[in-house]
Amino acid sequence: MSMAEEDTLISVDYEIFGKVQGVFFRKYTQAEGKRLGLVGWVQNTDQGTVQGQLQGPISKVRHMQEWLEKKGSPKSHIERANFNNEKAILKLDYLDFQIVK
């Protein structure tokens, strides 16, 4: 990837399946997103999954996608991660990374 490509802003939706509720998954996701300088949101669903949206430079979003797929919070057990609606964006839609109740 060239430097210009790495700086391209993208938006991607995610849903994480497994033991991801009641294990501080949202809190750790918010912290990791902020650490990487990403914006977006995270919330629990009624189906027992965690979903949200990531926005930021493509290289940072890729780091976060890997974190969501492989790491998560210490007590979580991730079965799989789905990523959808990936698109390049001209500007960020959010100011920070929020936990949505």
- Active-site residues, by number, are 26, 44
> Do strands 97-99 and 39-44 pair parallel, antiparallel, or not at all (unpaired)?
parallel
Q: Of 52, 34, 42, 37, whose CA–CA distance to 7 is shortest?
A: 37
The angle formed by the CA atoms of residues 14, 16 and 20, to the nearest 5 degrees, is 140
